[in-house]
Every structure is written in C-alpha cells, then in structure tokens.
C-alpha cells in the first residue's frame, strides 16, 4: 500500500526546517552507503549525528506521533530517527530495495524495516526531476509531493529517485517497524479504522462504531507483535 499523508508538517514548520537544511553542512551520500548501493547513489546527506539532523528529526517524530493517519496506517512500534538528503546537478538514486534490517545509529539495536517513508521539504515547482519512483504489483508510481507531505510505502518495494536537472530536492527519509508485520493485515486494519472514524461522524451510528471498534482491537490483538 502506498499512502500519501498530507501536511505532516505545517507551512511554518516546513519553512523553518528548510531554512535549517539550506544552511546545513552536507556530505557525500556515498559515505553512508553499503557496498551495493554505493554504485547507484549520487546525492548528499546530513551526518546522522549533526545538530541539524537531530533537531529536525525530533520535530518530525513529534509530528508523526500526533498524526492519526500515520499511526493508523503504520501501527509503528519504532521509527528510526529521520535522515535527510539533497539532490541537485543531475544527482539521482538507482533502483534498489531497502535493507530488511536497519541499525539504529549510535546503538547496537536493530529494527525490521517494514515501511519506508519520504517527507518532502521542497515544493514540486522548485526543482525538475527528482520523482520518487516506486514499483509494486500494481505498476509504477511516480511521487513528487508538496513540501510537508509524506509518502509511506512497503520497504519491500523496488524504488529509485530520478535525476534532478534543475533546483534542489530536499527530503527526509526513515524506516518503520510495525506492530503488525504482514502488509495485508495492516491494510485490513487501516481500512477498518478509516471506516470506523467515518462512521463516528454520522449521527446515530454510535453502537455500530463501538462494535466495529471491538472487532478492530480483537484483530489487532491477534496480529500485533510487541
């Protein structure tokens, strides 16, 4: 499931983050690549331990913690601290699938990467190219969202970033371990939760919404891995 989550960050927060990113010190993205991805990766990244990455990462995590759509779709047990990248001057990222297990920087801990996410900081009209291209069983999807919006997708997906031929593409990326490992089960829970929230807005539907909420939690109890 590909999910567009709008306005994870509001306009004011996006402007502040972008100002901090444009003034930050960037390093070659290949410094953080494995042996396979180094040959397909041409971008810039912030050092994971940089003050800017830590500050903006905390802002993003706080926003995600308050975002109902993100929680409903991802059912996160852990979100790796967000990282940040920049593409310009024909930089790109070739086709790849994210590693199944991701280390948590500065610790010996690791998580299973069930979901990947990209949060955009540059408006689509600010740069040419730079589409995030995701391939799944339903075809090829090109993603280029408004600043502050996020795309959430399975980490099992083949994906790439097209060359940026004008301007600069600024974004954050992260991986999420879900309480529910199976993507099909997560989709069922997300669809059910969405229907319950819509039902609660209808007058006279309290009893039905309550019954469905019980069904939702019984399914979550059966499928969740904590």
Binding-site residues: 96, 98, 159, 169
Q: How many CA atoms lie within 13 A of 7 on its CB side?
A: 4
CA dihedral 90, 92, 94, 100 (to 10 degrees): 170
Cα 1 → chain centroid: 12
Say how far apart CA 174 and CA 180 lie, in whole Å.
18
Q: By the 8 A CB rule, do 89 and 47 touch?
A: no
Q: By the 8 A CB rule, do 46 and 27 touch?
A: yes
Tokens at residue 71, please? 């929680």
Which positions make up the binding site for Fe cation?
96, 98, 159
Which positions make up the binding site for 2-oxoglutarate?
169
- To 10 degrees, what angle do helices 51-65 and 11-22 make? 160
Q: By the 8 A CB rule, do 164 and 50 touch?
A: no
Which is nearest to 72 in space by CA: 84, 61, 64, 80? 64
């Amino acid at each position: 499931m590909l999910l567009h989550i709008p306005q994870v960050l509001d306009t004011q927060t996006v402007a502040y983050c972008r100002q901090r990113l444009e003034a930050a010190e960037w390093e070659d993205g290949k410094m953080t690549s494995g042996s396979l991805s180094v040959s397909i990766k041409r971008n810039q990244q912030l050092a994971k331990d940089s003050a800017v990455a830590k500050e903006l990462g905390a802002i993003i995590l706080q926003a995600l913690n308050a975002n109902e759509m993100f929680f409903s779709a991802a059912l996160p047990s852990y979100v790796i601290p967000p990282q940040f990248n920049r593409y310009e001057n024909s930089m790109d990222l070739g086709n790849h699938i994210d590693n199944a297990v991701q280390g948590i920087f500065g610790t010996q801990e690791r998580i299973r990467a069930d979901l990947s996410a990209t949060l955009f900081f540059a408006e689509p009209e600010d740069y040419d190219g730079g589409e995030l291209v995701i391939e799944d069983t339903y075809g090829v999807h090109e993603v280029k969202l408004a600043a502050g919006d996020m795309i959430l997708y399975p980490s099992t997906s083949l994906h790439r970033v097209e060359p940026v031929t004008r301007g600069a593409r600024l974004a954050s990326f992260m991986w999420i371990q879900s309480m529910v490992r199976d993507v099909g089960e997560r989709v069922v829970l997300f669809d059910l939760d969405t229907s319950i929230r819509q039902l609660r807005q209808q007058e006279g539907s309290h009893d039905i919404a309550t019954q469905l909420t019980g069904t939702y939690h019984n399914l979550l109890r059966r499928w969740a891995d904590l």
